[in-house]
Amino acid sequence: MYFASDNSSGVPAEVLEALSRANRGFSMPYGADDLMEGVRTSLREIFEAPEASVYLVATGTAANALALACYCPPWAAVYCHRTAHVEEDECNAPEFYTGGAKLVPVDGPDGRMEPERLEAALDAAAPGGVHNTQKGMLTITNTTEAGTVYSPGEVARLAGIARGHGLPVHMDGARFANALVSAGCTPAEMTWKAGVDVLSFGGTKNGLMGVEAVILFDPRKAWEFELRRKRGGHLFSKHRYLSAQMAAYLADDLWLDLAGRANAAAARLSQGIAALEGGELRHPTQANMVFAAFPRAAHLRAREAGAAYYLWPFGQSLDGPAETPLSARLVCSWATTREDIDRFLGLLRG
Amino acid sequence: MYFASDNSSGVPAEVLEALSRANRGFSMPYGADDLMEGVRTSLREIFEAPEASVYLVATGTAANALALACYCPPWAAVYCHRTAHVEEDECNAPEFYTGGAKLVPVDGPDGRMEPERLEAALDAAAPGGVHNTQKGMLTITNTTEAGTVYSPGEVARLAGIARGHGLPVHMDGARFANALVSAGCTPAEMTWKAGVDVLSFGGTKNGLMGVEAVILFDPRKAWEFELRRKRGGHLFSKHRYLSAQMAAYLADDLWLDLAGRANAAAARLSQGIAALEGGELRHPTQANMVFAAFPRAAHLRAREAGAAYYLWPFGQSLDGPAETPLSARLVCSWATTREDIDRFLGLLRG
Amino acid sequence: MYFASDNSSGVPAEVLEALSRANRGFSMPYGADDLMEGVRTSLREIFEAPEASVYLVATGTAANALALACYCPPWAAVYCHRTAHVEEDECNAPEFYTGGAKLVPVDGPDGRMEPERLEAALDAAAPGGVHNTQKGMLTITNTTEAGTVYSPGEVARLAGIARGHGLPVHMDGARFANALVSAGCTPAEMTWKAGVDVLSFGGTKNGLMGVEAVILFDPRKAWEFELRRKRGGHLFSKHRYLSAQMAAYLADDLWLDLAGRANAAAARLSQGIAALEGGELRHPTQANMVFAAFPRAAHLRAREAGAAYYLWPFGQSLDGPAETPLSARLVCSWATTREDIDRFLGLLRG
Amino acid sequence: MYFASDNSSGVPAEVLEALSRANRGFSMPYGADDLMEGVRTSLREIFEAPEASVYLVATGTAANALALACYCPPWAAVYCHRTAHVEEDECNAPEFYTGGAKLVPVDGPDGRMEPERLEAALDAAAPGGVHNTQKGMLTITNTTEAGTVYSPGEVARLAGIARGHGLPVHMDGARFANALVSAGCTPAEMTWKAGVDVLSFGGTKNGLMGVEAVILFDPRKAWEFELRRKRGGHLFSKHRYLSAQMAAYLADDLWLDLAGRANAAAARLSQGIAALEGGELRHPTQANMVFAAFPRAAHLRAREAGAAYYLWPFGQSLDGPAETPLSARLVCSWATTREDIDRFLGLLRG
């Protein structure tokens, strides 16, 4: 009953096997390995983007920060949702990699930026000339940090506003596969066809050990990205071990299969909680995360039995009346089992 | 009738004369001039801070950014009012000098941070460990960007909250003299006695050509400040010309006299507008800036006659019904004359 | 016959098996995994440093740049050998992570800094005050980039000079195991007992997929290191896969065994080349790299048969008289076989 | 007898008068003052560069660092002479403003880069791909730090080498006027006609209080320069006081007149020392600085009588045999008098 984070699961057997296979003999370092050639080809096909540049790094923070740094100058602003990972969970990595850009939060319910607020933020940034932070770029998180999913149309609306101000668009897709499976669209529809210039294509949360792709749909930034990656210490000498994982992830739609499992688990969990007496969803469950409230007593029973998850937001007390609802974040992964979910729901029910 | 900004005025005769006197002969460069010795002594006396380190730079942005960089590490947050100069008017200079710190806006009416909101922002920053922006420091602007003034007690309350979280405190005193004259307290009471560690002590807006002092009440940061100043290109070789201006500013309380004149001008202007039909103050007038609304027709008359000032906020249209009130920012300086104010008020009255 | 780099080899079976074992179940992320606890304990024991702080990152550039950034302020200099990896092969990563420190090359034959030259560089840096780059720290590469090894006494001499100027000392140990096996001393003797404050303890070149430890012998920098690691995007969520590799590396002295194999291979290769007609070593072979010249014709025979290695320095032409000696760098790893070496030597002999 | 530095002199009467005149009334801030319009026009005419962008800052370090940052990315190298001000006297300001570029010293006698060595440094930088510092730009100091002057042909040769590698060229002209008077060419011949893209046009050392122009011959970098200047805290609100000084400097060729006086003083001083028994020039005297050796006893006599200058290099001892020659740097300025020179030479003669 481990719902603390999708980054606490392991990797599927295919990934371990791919590492074993990749381990044979000598291999060209730094991304010149044969496996990377295949990864590049696969991602270009999957995204219907034959010109795209594709790179691998090992952490989502690196993917995001490097992508932002390629598009946002130090004197400009990155517009993001207030709860975005780049704003809340990266210890100023975007500021570091951009050389001091400013992240400007844009609000909206359920982890989604409201187009009107983005428009307002951009209009507010307009008049000041050299004294003010310049408008830099937009970053959209999909799956959002609230477990919701932007549809391609919603992405296109936000990206269109940014582009109307001349700004490029990044998508933080640490949970891109979960969003895609949820939205039921193609990768191209979710990204470049909707106006996205650069994508952090997550693998780690969805079954890899620590591999993320960065896909630059416009390859003119490719060389700059390579220099920034190296200068950030994110270029792997034994790159084949990243390539092998990503190749296994893409083969036979494993990535979509894993995300489908995680999303299905979350749906089951979400429905179970919603059906509880005193159970209530805090955000719609659209991908692999459930945000829900249920009575304190239910929390205590679950925790006593070893369930792991975060109260969300932090700071709610486990001491107090038994019926008071406390909110939690419950994250499913490809490895979450039906048994665990049902056992957990049973505990909640008491 | 020039109310656009206090940085559009000239300097009083004493300053020009001081430059002439300082021009004689050769002088040690880089702050080793004799005049700087006097400035240091004077500011230590004025602030009752015999241990303080005192430095001069030429712009307020430099003073602020260098001061913040000495106290806030790159992975931390600077808490400031949403309208603070460091947040709105320095084109990411604080982010540049700190190496990528994050500015976190804290709201409150009339340009003043609300203590409860500061407390809430700091509490929210508490739990996250290494993933989150760390708590860095507090910066308070006094005179605020809304023309209001924090009393020493209000400064102490905010600084006390910051210090309770282990954070140092900066005061942006670009209009420090105006605040001091308004509050009627001593420089020490407004700063270190209230918990301020480092002060940007403005001279430029109050009658100098481009000189600001940075006063470090705790001298342990002095050498780091010197290195940061040099590395930022803010150490003057012919430093005597900064020293001479600051010496003239401090002599015979000229700085307080100039600020008193500016505040008195603003009070007269404020009272005049408040007495107008359709006139209304947007913020209390406590220093040298007036934020007020008055009918569009009055704006048109004033502008036609050559009055210079900003509509505030930007973006209000001069086209439309004559009676509609439009808001403006009107800044007085030491050089604003009673004649100009009365003429301006006459125009508003029609 | 792959002698291009030690980063082109794979990993031993123990490492793959450790990954498989580590893959079971859920695990705490971000270094809170149980395996990391064991790694920490092991490295503290190996280095006889019970207080040391131990962290894992995935690349040598990250390990070096983060270690330097913890000890060298942006206005200071890092003294390094002219051929050091930090100077020549990291695309300004040290400058990036330190926020703009300057790398000052110090020469010496065979990749080793000459103590007299280090002394001279430090003395030259002394007099300038605030205008000049400040003295920051020393970094020593062991095994050097010329394949030579500093003895503990030589490390202590250089570190002693640095410490005499108040400077901390870093060791870039990307090939630390090779140096240690060569020198026949203890890890403690090679590092903190000789005056080293922080060590990049390499795993990648010696048989891991991409894992380096950073060992801070003085734990006061630990929290800063953690923040810098996160901010650099180098903190792994699924950290257990780094821990597992490092644990396997340390178990049963595997790391020393692997390095011993690589060094023995290089010794055999070196002796073989030295015995050739027209063969000549460019640097003493003390670890796993051979720098040697041999006739152009021998190069052509080896390359035609598929041997992979770099001419060193770059830019020598393969066209020209058959007897002319050309220099090469030949790197052995734990995976280099005696058969490959003998076949290669046979080709050189013609 | 003040020969310590040209930055220890005052300013001529014309500059003080210009400040007085500029002080009247209100003025648009931040470079929108009328005087700046005139400065822009004058410098474009003087440089025969009607498209050039022209900006003012207050220190030479700011001018250099901002200019370099506009042209050199953080992962690249700035090639400069080993004794260049950017390398030796700016406390890593270029590294700060560029975000971590590396300064690569290129040697040559008398403060002048040797073309062959520049070529060699650039060729050495060629082969490495993403791992190595990239080639960024060239900066040439004219007047050099050894008091010598590059002719337009020498500038063109160095700039041509850089441009052949695709690199832009900066000239540090902190003593540009002195170089120009010495070379007897036009400003255009010394700069853009010889391949210079951006010039730091010094005023401070040649008679202003603290004003330098940056001239971008290619205006496409203009907006970036403005943002960098603001973000660095180098945009003056009361800009008119910079403009007024520069306007006075350019009017009636005052700048050339001042430099001519300084050069003539240095020539007289240089000839006097060369004629001494035991006197010897260390570098040719081509502008306003004399590098020369003369007997220790002569130093002692001069110093006892109050002469101020630096032994050069630092670290020579005034204790020892009377006849031993010690080297010194003696800098003349527009304010150096014939009387002082003759008195100084008299003291040396004993």
Q: What are the pLDDT digits (tens) for B268-311?
A: 999 999 999 999 999 999 999 999 999 999 999 999 999 999 99
Shortest distance, CA A73 to any CA of chain D (angstroms): 10
Neighbours of B27 (CB within 10 A): 23
Shortest distance, CA C312 to any CA of chain D (angstroms): 12
| Residue closest to A284 by CA, chosen among A151, A173, A136 | A151
Name the pLDDT band for B315 (thresholds 50, 70, 90). confident
Q: What is the DSSP string of B33-74?
A: SHHHHHHHHHHHHHTT-TT-EEEEES-HHHHHHHHHHHH--T
Q: Distance (Å, rounded) from C-alpha A165 to C-alpha C283?
A: 59
Q: What is the pLDDT of residues A48-87, one digit of tens each?
A: 999 999 999 999 999 999 999 999 999 999 999 999 999 9
Residues 76-95 of chain C whose Cβ lies under 8 A from any Cβ of chain A: 90-93
Name the pLDDT band for D315 (thresholds 50, 70, 90). confident
Q: Distance (Å, rounded) from C-alpha D289 to C-alpha D191?
A: 22
Hunting for tokens 């700035």 — which residue is that? D78
Residues 103-122 of chain A whose Cβ lies under 8 A from any Cβ of chain C: none
Phi, psi of D54 (to 5 degrees): -130, 130
pLDDT by position in tens, chain A (length 350): 999 999 999 999 999 999 999 999 999 999 999 999 999 999 999 999 999 999 999 999 999 999 999 999 999 999 999 999 999 999 999 999 999 999 999 999 999 999 999 999 999 886 669 999 999 999 999 999 999 999 999 999 999 999 999 999 999 999 999 999 999 999 999 999 999 999 999 999 999 999 999 999 999 999 999 999 999 999 999 999 999 999 999 999 999 999 999 999 999 999 999 999 999 999 999 999 999 999 999 999 999 999 999 999 988 999 999 999 999 999 999 999 999 999 999 999 98
* Whether the Cβ atoms of residue B158 and residue B98 lie closer than 8 Å to each other: no
> How high is the ipTM of this complex?
0.97
* Whether the Cβ atoms of residue D208 and residue D57 lie closer than 8 Å to each other: no
Q: Distance (Å, rounded) from C-alpha A290 to C-alpha A288?
A: 7
pTM: 0.98
* Whether the Cβ atoms of residue A93 and residue C230 lie closer than 8 Å to each other: yes
Domains of chain C in sequence order: 12-254 (3.40.640.10), 256-349 (3.90.1150.10)
- Interchain CB distance below 8 Å, D93 and B233: yes
Share of chain B above pLDDT 90, in %: 97
Suggest the residue from C5, C59, C64 to mutate for an interface test with chain A (most A CBs closer than 10 A).
C59
Coil vs helix vs strand at A9: coil
Neighbours of B11 (CB within 10 A): 28
Q: Tell me how far CA of residue D30 lies from CA of A255, B103, D243, in angstroms.
A: 55, 24, 11
Residues 6+ apart with CB under 8 A from C257: C334
- Model pLDDT, residue D281: 98
- The stretch B141-162 carries a mean pLDDT of 98
Q: For B254-270, b where at least 16 C-beta lie within 10 A, e where not — what string?
A: bbbbbbbbbbbbbbbbb
Length of chain B (residues):
350
Q: Tell me how far CA of residue A85 lies from CA of A77, A346, B282, C299, in angstroms.
A: 16, 32, 38, 53
pLDDT at B266 over 80: yes
Q: Which of C30, C130, C228 sits opposite B227 (nearest CB)?
A: C130
Show residues of chain B in contact with A100, CB under 8 Å: 92, 95-96, 98-100
Name the pLDDT band for B127 (thresholds 50, 70, 90). low
* Whether the Cβ atoms of residue C158 and residue C138 lie closer than 8 Å to each other: yes
Residues 4-63 of chain B whose Cβ lies under 8 A from any Cβ of chain D: 4-5, 7-11, 16, 19-20, 22-29, 57-63
Q: What is the DSSP string of A189-246?
A: HHTGGGT-SEEEEE-GGGT-SS-EEEEESSGGGHHHHHHHHHHTT---TTTHHHHHHH
Coil vs helix vs strand at D146: coil
Hunting for tokens 């940034």 — which residue is that? A125
- Interchain CB distance below 8 Å, D237 and B19: no
Percent of residues in chain A assigned helix, strand, coil, to nearest 5: 45, 15, 35
* Whether the Cβ atoms of residue C15 and residue C209 lie closer than 8 Å to each other: yes
- Model pLDDT, residue D125: 85
Show residues of chain B in contact with C230, CB under 8 Å: 75, 130-131
Q: What is the pLDDT of residues C138-184, one digit of tens each?
A: 999 999 999 999 999 999 999 999 999 999 999 999 999 999 999 99
pLDDT at C297 over 70: yes
pLDDT at C128 over 70: no
Report residue B197 as tokens.
């560690």
Q: For A289-299, b where at least 16 C-beta lie within 10 A, e where not — what string?
A: bbbbbbbbbbb
Residues 152-211 of chain C whose Cβ lies under 8 A from any Cβ of chain A: 204-205, 209-210
Q: Distance (Å, rounded) from C-alpha B43 to C-alpha A145?
A: 51
Suggest the residue from C223, C231, C236, C239 to mutate for an interface test with chain B (most B CBs closer than 10 A).
C231
- Interchain CB distance below 8 Å, A73 and D227: yes
- Interchain CB distance below 8 Å, A75 and B90: no
Q: Distance (Å, rounded) from C-alpha D197 to C-alpha D158?
A: 13
Q: Which chains touch A (3 or more CB pairs under 8 A)?
A: B, C, D
Q: What is the pLDDT of residues B100-126, one digit of tens each?
A: 999 999 999 999 999 999 999 999 886
Axis crossing angle, helix C115-124 with helix C152-164, rounded to the nearest 10: 10
Taking the CA of residue B112 as centre, how many other CA atoms within 13 Å lie in the half-sphere pointing to its CB? 19
Using CA coordinates, name the residue in chain D closest to B27: D8
Instruction: Tell whether C337 is within 8 A of chain A (Cβ).
Output: no
- Model pLDDT, residue B335: 97
Share of chain C above pLDDT 70, in %: 99
Asked, as a colleague might, if the bond just before D284 is cis with ω within 30 of 0, I would say no
pLDDT at C29 over 70: yes
Shortest distance, CA B103 to any CA of chain C (angstroms): 16
Instruction: Tell whether B237 is within 8 A of chain D (Cβ).
Output: yes
